[in-house]
A and B are shown apart, each in its own frame.
Chain A
Amino acid sequence: MTVLDVKNLRTVFKTRQGEIHAVNSVSFDLKPGELLGVVGESGSGKSVTMMSLIGLVPSPPAIVDGGYVNFDGQDLLRTDQDRLRGVRGAKIGFIFQDPMTSLNPVFSIGFQLSEPLRNHMGMNKTAARKRAAELLDLVGIPDAARRLSDFPHQFSGGMRQRVMIAMALACDPKVLIADEPTTALDVTIQAQILELVKELRNKLGMAIIWITHDLGVIAGIADRVMVMYGGQVVEQAPVRELFENPQHPYTRALLQTIPSVRGTRTDKLRVIEGQPPILYAEPSACSFRDRCTHAFERCGIENPLRKTLTSGHDVACFWDPATGEARHD
């Protein structure tokens, strides 16, 4: 039983400099009420993947194709624009990274919050406004009814992100996609937003996809984690399993970059050497091999496929950390 099932999703940007294969054959699913964390370096294709699902990547230059995106009994890659619009903002809510620029500066908060309600639920102005006040209240903005006529610049960054959350939740979506919603906020506000989302999930029961750079955040809220690199999913596991038994060298390196407060302080901050690749062609070899300390011959001639190890844990790598040698197929 899944709410969202994505199979072999691919997104290519046709630019003047050539093609950029930003998303390469990404597959994953999402169960009702589950919180899926997505991690990976900048440029690994996290945002493009999620925006491709509901037709939010600019096209042109982007071309989205692939297997299917199964949601609510329809394939989102093959529905017409009108039906897709009916899904966006109604059944799938989206929160973006930068709350300072994600709200329209010249319309009141009340107007912007009412839009999805009037658009998808057919509410009239008064009803939408009433519901908008309830939503603001739900995300913890004090004096909600009065603040509806305020403009975005009259809110702080954390409050604007609360407004964004309220907007994404307006029509009771089944899935909420949060694309680094706390990256632009300071740490205390970050914690508040995290708490809010956890609480709302318990209250409303939607499934959440949470994109982040921060493995610490993932450890705190996710049920399952998906690690992305070079536009591909390189490892996927339940959150405890991933932290205790990471398989992919990239995941292992990521985990080592988390500075520990309790551990020994002798180490410098660890970094992963090298740059993430820009994919001008579909990968024909492992895209991590240039930065990988365990790479061997096969990694340069063949792109590893995802292989299930235990139930719910899969990895795309030829190297086996248990033996320190090549994995047996």
Chain B
Amino acid sequence: MFNYTIRRLFLAIPTLFFISLIIFLLLDLAPSDPTANLPLTIPPEVREKIRQSLGLGEPIHIRYLLWCKQFFINEPLNIMEQWFGWDIAGDRLRVLSWQTRSPVVDLIVQRTPQTLWVVGMSYVVGVLIALPIGIISAYRQYSWFDQVGTFISMIGFSVPTFFTGVLMIVVFSVWLGWFPSIYDTTHQVTDWASFWQQIRQMVMPVAVLALFNAAQISRFMRASMLDNLNQDYVRTARAKGLGERTVVLVHVLRNSLIPVVTVIALGVPQVFGGAIITEQVFKVNGLGQLLIISIQGGDLPTVQTLTFIFAFLIVLFNLIADVLYGVLDPRIRYD
């Protein structure tokens, strides 16, 4: 298992370089112009100068290698300096955003907490709701609980978050006035009152995303439980005189969780990128919103870096899912 993990990690390196190249080429192909959003009064020569100053005059392979150097060498060095207080001499060029002229990594560091709080929390809540619902729905298949669960998850599944999000704003903010419709990122938690305020502003975005996540995962959990409930080993467990709790929550659940855990692990990268729409609806200035703004502004370094980080997380969590599979299922042996 250990060797397998190490080997997979090494294999990931060329994969990631390849992915970064593809992203770079695709973005270069895209007809976007970083000066398009500037006022129309700026004359074309000046625009051209701006483009040159952003490095767009260089040939594509130079620009790619430059990004690689900045991202893979300069940025990690910079982080190490900050963490360990080192001072490695030299003024290194960092990946700079074209729109804000500040380092992209700093932007990401600024925005990650909001995303983790709202989207990450919704994923955790979604999973915590989905697992028991899936288990009970399967154990009591076709009961009213199962029917209601099926109906709700079908809604969560098929109604897009920009609809449920707006619907919740209309109902709970406009009509009832229970929750704020906008997520205030500058809000600081200092005491119980401000903590309560933080909870209130998180409720709606978390609820919208959690419904969406829970819908998928609970269906998956239910299907996996149903697969296992009819297996022969369940009858054996009952024939041994074990209680229903042990039969279902030890024997069946342990088997059913194997594919579900994999799916949950594979879904984690989406936490970082997938909530773009919900972040827009509730004005959460997280990573998803950063990506949207950068795309609209033709801010290629930011888009490139963000997309690459998503790709990195996907590769990483694929590996984690595979390793978890091997840990949970004794029949799987990696060597």
Is B233 part of the binding interface, using a Cβ–Cβ cutoff of 8 Å?
yes
Return the chain B residue nearest A170 by Cβ.
B240
Question: How many Å from the CB of B226 to the closest CB on chain A?
Answer: 13
Do A104 and B240 touch across chains, with their CB atoms under 8 A apart? no
Question: How many Å from the CB of B201 to the closest CB on chain A?
Answer: 43
Which residues of A sit under 8 angstroms from B330, Cβ to Cβ? 105-106, 108, 151, 153
Return the chain B residue nearest A113 by Cβ.
B240
Question: How many Å from the CB of A175 to the closest CB on chain B?
Answer: 12
Which residues of B sit under 8 angstroms from A86, Cβ to Cβ? 241
Is A213 part of the binding interface, using a Cβ–Cβ cutoff of 8 Å?
no
Is B328 part of the binding interface, using a Cβ–Cβ cutoff of 8 Å?
yes
Do B238 and A56 touch across chains, with their CB atoms under 8 A apart? yes
Which residues of B sit under 8 angstroms from A108, Cβ to Cβ? 330
Return the chain A residue nearest B333 by Cβ.
A153
- CB-CB contacts of B199-236 with A at 8 A, as 1s and 0s? 00000000000000000000000000000000111011
Is B81 part of the binding interface, using a Cβ–Cβ cutoff of 8 Å?
no
- CB-CB contacts of A48-74 with B at 8 A, as 1s and 0s? 000000101000000000000000000
Is B111 part of the binding interface, using a Cβ–Cβ cutoff of 8 Å?
no
Flag the segment in A114-122, A187-195, A275-283 that touches B: A114-122
Do A115 and B328 touch across chains, with their CB atoms under 8 A apart? no
**Complex CA distance for A153 and B236, rounded to whole angstroms:** 16
Chain B contributes a number of interface residues (CB within 8 A of A) equal to: 20
Is B239 part of the binding interface, using a Cβ–Cβ cutoff of 8 Å?
yes
Is B331 part of the binding interface, using a Cβ–Cβ cutoff of 8 Å?
yes
Do B240 and A106 touch across chains, with their CB atoms under 8 A apart? no
Which residues of B sit under 8 angstroms from A90, Cβ to Cβ? 241
Is A306 part of the binding interface, using a Cβ–Cβ cutoff of 8 Å?
no
Which residues of B sit under 8 angstroms from A120, Cβ to Cβ? 241
Is A318 part of the binding interface, using a Cβ–Cβ cutoff of 8 Å?
no
Which residues of B sit under 8 angstroms from A294, Cβ to Cβ? none
With A104-B255, A151-B331 known to touch, is A119 a contact of B241 (CB < 8 Å)? Answer: yes
**Complex CA distance for A83 and B92, rounded to whole angstroms:** 76
With A96-B235, A98-B232 known to touch, is A104 a contact of B242 (CB < 8 Å)? Answer: no
Which residues of B sit under 8 angstroms from A56, Cβ to Cβ? 235, 238-239
Is B63 part of the binding interface, using a Cβ–Cβ cutoff of 8 Å?
no
Do B241 and A85 touch across chains, with their CB atoms under 8 A apart? yes
**Complex CA distance for A115 and B240, rounded to whole angstroms:** 8
Do A85 and B243 touch across chains, with their CB atoms under 8 A apart? yes
Which residues of B sit under 8 angstroms from A94, Cβ to Cβ? 236, 239
Is B106 part of the binding interface, using a Cβ–Cβ cutoff of 8 Å?
no
**Complex CA distance for A116 and B251, rounded to whole angstroms:** 14
Question: How many Å from the CB of A206 to the closest CB on chain B?
Answer: 15
With A102-B232, A151-B330 known to touch, is A88 a contact of B255 (CB < 8 Å)? Answer: no
- CB-CB contacts of B144-188 with A at 8 A, as 1s and 0s? 000000000000000000000000000000000000000000000
Do B233 and A105 touch across chains, with their CB atoms under 8 A apart? yes
- CB-CB contacts of A97-111 with B at 8 A, as 1s and 0s? 010011111111000
Is B237 part of the binding interface, using a Cβ–Cβ cutoff of 8 Å?
yes
Which residues of A sit under 8 angstroms from B258, Cβ to Cβ? 106
Is A167 part of the binding interface, using a Cβ–Cβ cutoff of 8 Å?
yes
- CB-CB contacts of A260-290 with B at 8 A, as 1s and 0s? 0000000000000000000000000000000
3 residue pairs, one from A and one from B, having the closest CB atoms: A89-B241, A89-B240, A88-B241
Given A56-B238, A105-B331, A168-B239, 16 more pairs with CB closer than 8 A: A56-B235, A85-B241, A87-B241, A88-B238, A88-B239, A89-B241, A89-B242, A103-B233, A103-B236, A104-B233, A106-B258, A107-B251, A116-B240, A119-B241, A153-B330, A167-B240
Taking Cβ atoms with an 8 Å cutoff, the residues of A that contact B are 54, 56, 85-90, 93-94, 96, 98, 101-108, 115-116, 119-120, 151, 153, 164, 167-168
